[in-house]
Amino acid sequence: MPGMSTGLKTNNPTIVSALHTALLHQGLVVLLILAVAGITLNALRTLQFRGYARDAERPPALAQPSGPPEPAARRLLRISFGLLWLLDGILQGQSSMPLGLVPQAIQPTAGASPTWVQQLVHDGTTIWSYHPVQAAAAAVWIQVGIGIWLLAVPRGRWSRLGGAASVGWGLVVWVFGESFGGVLAPGLTWLFGAPGAAVFYCAAGALLALPSRSWATPRLGRGILRALGLFFVGMAVLQAWPGRGFWGGVTRTGGTGTLTGMVQQMSQTPQPHLLSSWVASFETFDAAHGWGVNLGAVLALAVIGAALLTARPRPVRIGVVAAVILCAADWVLVEDFGFFGGTGTDPNSMIPLALVCVAGYLALTRPSRAVADAAVPIRVPTVAPTWRQRLVTNPGYAFRFLAAMAAIGIVLVGAVPMAVAAGSPNADPILATAVDGAPNTLHDAAPAFTLVDQHDRVVSLAGLRGKTIALTFLDPVCTSDCPIIAQEFRQADALLGAAAKGVELVAIDANPRYTAPDYLVAFDAEENLSDVPNWLYLTGSTAQLQKIWDSYGILVGYASGGAMISHSDTAYVINRTGGLRDVLDADPGSGSAATRSSFAVTLADTIEGAMAGSSGS
């Protein structure tokens, strides 16, 4: 029978089309924001060119240069992580993201973590499951906005605020998208990306948020390098720990070792053949030489860690070069670049880690003395300028301010719809549309029926005149689709609120072998429908039921011995005058909480539409 086991695939055309439409509409808003910022900047420069700035009586301090050159280490972090955020935002726009990210990327990682982590991640990702289009589009613009912010604003408080924004969103990704980077799961290893790429995004953001004077001496560089040194040494210890499956390419029982299994899995990711062949070759090599590969990884991590802990230029230089080479090798051969497969959201942890290592080296060896000199405030006899005065008299400040405002606006283009969606406990109706299609509107008279309800009372369609009816067909002994559809009707009734007084929820028995009212009562008790005052479950003789099935186009299949095979999953909305208004495919699909909620919303909306349409009847 059609629709008995339909689920949502990641390339569902309804969801993909909705994502592209959302990105297009929001992209137009982003272009408008950028255009307004550009026009405003041009207007301010015109004022400055014409000499209008002199009317603002700008203080002498404003005539000073914009500031010292940005320290090399900070510039590397700002530009590289700005580009990474842009890349991540673009990856979030992949067609498979709305429906594929949670089940294919987030849940597998959370599944290996403790129960409380799984629950936390589940609660945090409910908004994505319930509103996949809004969430996927939001992630695009939030990350693009942060990327533009970091790239366009090189100095000052607005640049530091961009770093803080990177920390904030990075923490969200680390907790809910990476399940704390898997640090609470067994088998933690640097080779697989622990402690998560988002940790290094947060670290870079925190460094960018530091005051300018922090970059004036080698002290910051030493702190960064020693922290990284401890990290590498700790990862070496974990990698060397016996019994974790890394010391063999194959197990004693002939299975694959931990690293070999990971590489094997990554080699099967959809990607160019050349890249998959590299990963497959390393898989074969590790299977044959697992002990040697792990020994090399342990020694490399330990040596790099020891070199960085010295915080002395020469050994640090060697350690950083070795770290970059090791990160590159792991990125290609183990992490498999990280962004293939349709649900890759970033290039994983090796590139961000390597960038932080290089930045630490630059902060140690190339501190910015000019920053220290500029940190000394210039004392002038006049009152300190306001931000408005600086905006119209200082071209550099005007650009940084407007660039930051534009970036914040882009972030809000994504964040506001997500926040609105998060405030709703109900799933987006588009999920039901993706599973079943949109309701079909009709203008026919509903076929009449006269049956008995679960309490053996006679009920007819004519007797329900004046009520809007939501009608479906359920098998009282079904344990798959029918209980889900019944709960969707119950949820729709709750969504109607006070309007439910004018609605009757009606189910007609769809099993010719179980027609006694006792079966209906048992079904209601099992599904907690006994306390729903406007719920009717109707039955009758097999001949009566067959006639009604035929009149409503319900197909019922059953074995001669009485075993139920299938029946049509269909719902009908009948207006108060007995007119058949809408027909809905009620196939629950995967039957997830999100699709159940989505169908309930769709059904409630359809009922309200029928009530409004017949208000004048």
Residue 62 has pLDDT above 50, yes or no: no
Q: pLDDT tens digits, residue range 135-169? A: 999 999 999 999 999 999 998 999 999 999 999 99
Identify the CA nearest to 368 among candidates 264, 250, 221: 221
Q: Give me 591's structure tokens.
A: 């039957």
pLDDT band at 303 (very low <50, low <70, confident <90, very high): very high
Q: What is the pLDDT of residue 549?
A: 95
Q: Are 428 and 598 in contact (CB under 8 A)?
A: yes
pLDDT at 63: 42
Q: Report DSSP letters for 421-445, one per residue.
A: HHT-SS--THHHHHHH-PPEEEEEE
Q: Residue 257: its pLDDT value, please? A: 76
Q: What is the pLDDT of residue 60?
A: 43
Location of structure tokens 């590159």: 328
Report the CATH superfamily, name and number, of domain 430-613: Glutaredoxin (3.40.30.10)
pTM of the model: 0.89
Q: How sure is the predictor about 3, in pLDDT bands with cuts at 50, 70 and 90?
A: very low
Tell me the mean pLDDT in the region 525-535: 95
DSSP-derived pairing of the beta strands 458-460 and 579-585: unpaired
pLDDT digits (tens, 9 = 90+) for 471-512: 999 999 998 899 999 999 999 999 999 999 999 999 999 998
pLDDT of 398 > 90? The answer is no
Give 76-127 pLDDT, tens digit per residue: 999 999 999 999 999 999 999 999 999 888 988 898 889 999 999 999 899 9
Which segment of 43-47, 130-134, 283-287, 542-546 scores lowest on mean pLDDT? Answer: 43-47
- Choose between 148 and 556: higher pLDDT: 148
Confidence of residue 251 (pLDDT cuts 50, 70, 90): low
Q: Is the pLDDT of residue 220 over 50?
A: yes
| Residue 63 identity | A
For residues 568-572, average pLDDT: 95
Q: Is 567 helix (H, G, I), strand (E, B) or coil?
A: strand
What is d(CA 165, CA 205) in angstroms, rounded to the nearest whole number? Answer: 7
> In 3D, which of 256, 273, 272, 282 has the Cα closest to residue 335?
282
Name which of 161-170, 371-380, 440-449 the model is least confident about. Answer: 371-380
Q: What is the pLDDT of residue 564?
A: 57
CA distance 389 to 492: 57
Domain boundaries defined on the chain: 23-377+387-422, 430-613
Q: What residues contact 565, with CB distance under 8 A and at least 6 apart?
A: 1, 557, 558, 559
Q: What is the pLDDT of residue 61?
A: 42
**What are residue 458's phi and psi, to 5 degrees?**
-75, 130
